[in-house]
Amino acid sequence: VWAAQNDPQVLKAAIPGCESLHQEKDDCYSAVVVAKIGPVRAKFNGRATLSNIQAPERYTISGEGGGVAGLAKGAADVRPGEQGDRTMLHYAVRADVRGKLAQVGSRLLGSTAKKYANDFFAGFNDAVTGKAPVEAPAQPTLRAADDPKSSIRGD
């Protein structure tokens, strides 16, 4: 699982709407993703960096992407953990949006992120096991922030 989650091909297959993904350096990827958040559907050029890598314990993936529809910045702490014969991926996400994404998408950001996470892990599971997943292997813990003035945060 640790290897798979650093494999560009696996990631490209797993990321919903991913048109291309290149590993530029060991810890740096660039990608083109078509994403839809509420009424916004647009192409985003993004770059993701891995940091805080403590294989196979944890790492932090932080990314920044933008396009005509605005920008998003985010980071996720990912922690794989054994659970019987399965690997449970725990993650916590922080995201921050700019431009049209904030203007028309912020209300929907929490639910969209949740859906994307589900889709990603389902696809990831598929790529790793070579078969359709029976259940989403990780329960995302994203929620919309209660304070309307604050940005969207994950737990």
Partner 1 sequence: MSGKYVGASQRRNEDPALLRGRALFVDDLDLPNMLHATFVRSPYASALIKSVDVDAAREHPGVVAVYTAADLGDFCKSTPIVVPPPPIEDLVFNARTRTPLAKDRVHHVGEPVALVLAESRYLAEDAAGDVMVEYQELPAVTDLEKAMEESSPLVHEDVPRNIAAKAPQSKGDYPKAAKSAFKVIKRRIGYEHGMAQPMETRGIVARWDDKLGRLSVWASTQAPTSLRGALAGVLGMSEGQIRVVAPFVGGGFGSKVLYYYPEELLIPWAARELKCAVKWIEDRGEHFVATVQERGQIHDVEMALAEDGTILGIKDVFLHDTGAFNPYGLTVPINSQCSVLGNYVVPNYDSTMICVFTNKPMVGPYRGAGRQHGIFVIERMLDVAARELGIDRNEIRRRNYIPSDAFPYSNELVFQDFTTLTYDSGNYEPALDRMLEAIDYTGFVNEEQPRLKAEGKKVGIGIVSYMEGTGIGPYEGARVQVESSGRVRVVTGIGTQGQSHFTSLAQIVADELGVRPDQVDVVTGDTDQFYWGAGTFASRGAVVAGNAVHEAAAAVRERALELGAGHLQVTKKDVTIEDGHVVRLGNPDARIALGALALKANPLRGAVEAGTSPGLEATMFFGPERGTTANGVHGVIVEVDPETFDLEIRRYVVVHDCGVMINPMVVEGQIHGGVAQGIGNAFYEQIVFDDNGQILNATLADYLLPTSTEVPCMELHHLETPSRTNRLGIKGVGEAGCIPVAAAIAQAIEDALDLPAKGVELLEIPLSPDRLWALAGNVVQQPPRESRLATTGATALKRPPGNSTRTGGERADHGLTEHCGAARQGVGSTE
Residues interacting with partner 1, by CB under 8 A? Answer: 39, 42-43, 66-68, 70-71, 96-100, 102-104, 106-107, 144-146, 148-151
Only one residue has tokens 């650093």, namely 6
Handedness of CA 56, 73, 154, 113 (dihedral sign): negative
Q: Is 132 helix (H, G, I), strand (E, B) or coil?
A: coil
Nearer to partner 1, 78 or 109 (CB): 109
Nearer to partner 1, 88 or 104 (CB): 104
Measured from the CB of residue 18, what is the shortest distance to partner 1 in angstroms?
A: 19
Parallel, antiparallel or unpaired: strands 153-154 and 142-143: antiparallel
Who's near 118: CB < 8 A, 6+ residues apart? 136, 140
Nearer to partner 1, 9 or 103 (CB): 103
Measured from the CB of residue 106, what is the shortest distance to partner 1 in angstroms?
A: 4
> Rounded distance, CA 117 to CA 123, Å?
10
Measured from the CB of residue 138, what is the shortest distance to partner 1 in angstroms?
A: 23
Nearer to partner 1, 56 or 66 (CB): 66
